């Protein structure tokens, strides 16, 4: 992650803003959230800046039965897919 941060100074800020939006509003239009297909059919993806994205899934907490967002992967488009 440090390497990416050096190459792209705004990256950490983009990730922070994305994570702040993702938790309360995973389908916020600014995130461009979309369902994945194929091997990742149970997962979702959203954007975190120009060429950076996150892959996540929704699960229910076994104790509280409340929905949770579980982050699975973060990186450039080529890295996360």
Average pLDDT estimate for 50-67: 91
Note the pLDDT tens digit of each residue in 34-47.
999 999 999 999 99
Number of domains in the chain: 1
pLDDT of 1 reads 56
CATH number, residue 55: 3.30.2310.20
Contact 49, 11 (CB under 8 A): yes
Instruction: Give the domain extent around 13.
Output: 2-80
- Note the pLDDT of residue 52: 86
pLDDT tier for residue 5 given thresholds of 50, 70 and 90:
low
């Amino acid at each position: 992650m440090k390497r990416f941060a050096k190459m792209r100074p705004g990256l950490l800020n983009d990730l922070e803003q994305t994570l702040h939006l993702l938790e309360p509003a995973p389908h916020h239009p600014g995130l461009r959230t979309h369902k994945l297909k194929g091997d990742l059919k149970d997962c979702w993806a959203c954007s975190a800046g120009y060429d950076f994205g996150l892959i996540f899934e929704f699960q229910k907490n076994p104790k509280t039965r409340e929905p949770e967002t579980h982050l699975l992967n973060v990186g450039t488009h080529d890295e996360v897919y």
